[in-house]
Amino acid sequence: MTVKKIIPTICPSCGGQLTVQSLHCHQCDTTISSEFNIPPIMLLRPDEQVFISNFIKCSGSLKQMAKDMGLSYPTVRNILDDIITNLQKLENDGTTI
C-alpha cells in the first residue's frame, strides 16, 4: 500500500508560508530551480480540496454532491460557501487558514 504524501504549505518551525524552490522531472532528470508560490487552492485543507475535486466531478451539481455525501443540500451549500470564503481570503491577502 502506497501512502500519498501531502505537500506541506506551512513551516513546521515558525508557521510561515512555504514556497516551492525546485521542480524535478524523474523521466529526464531535469530540475528547474526558482521560487514558485503555491496556488491558493493547494493551501486549502485536504478535506476542502477533496470536496472541490468531487464538486468538479459532479459537474458542479450541489444536488448530486448532497446525495453522494448523504447530507442535505443546505449543508453542502454551506460547506461550499465556507470554502469560497477561505479561498477568497487566501487569494486576497495571502493569509493561511
Per-residue pLDDT at 73 = 97
> At residue 97, does pLDDT exceed 80?
no
Helix/strand/coil for 84: helix
Q: Where are the domains of the chain?
A: 39-93
| pTM (2 d.p.) | 0.74
The label of the residue with cell 506551512 reads 10
Grade residue 38 by pLDDT with cuts at 50, 70 and 90: confident
The pLDDT of 3-10, averaged and rounded, is 80
Contact between 60 and 51 under an 8 Å Cβ cutoff? The reply is no
Pick from 53, 33, 31: nearest CA to 42: 53
Which residues, in sequence order, are CB contacts of 42 under 8 Å at separation 6+? 7, 9, 49
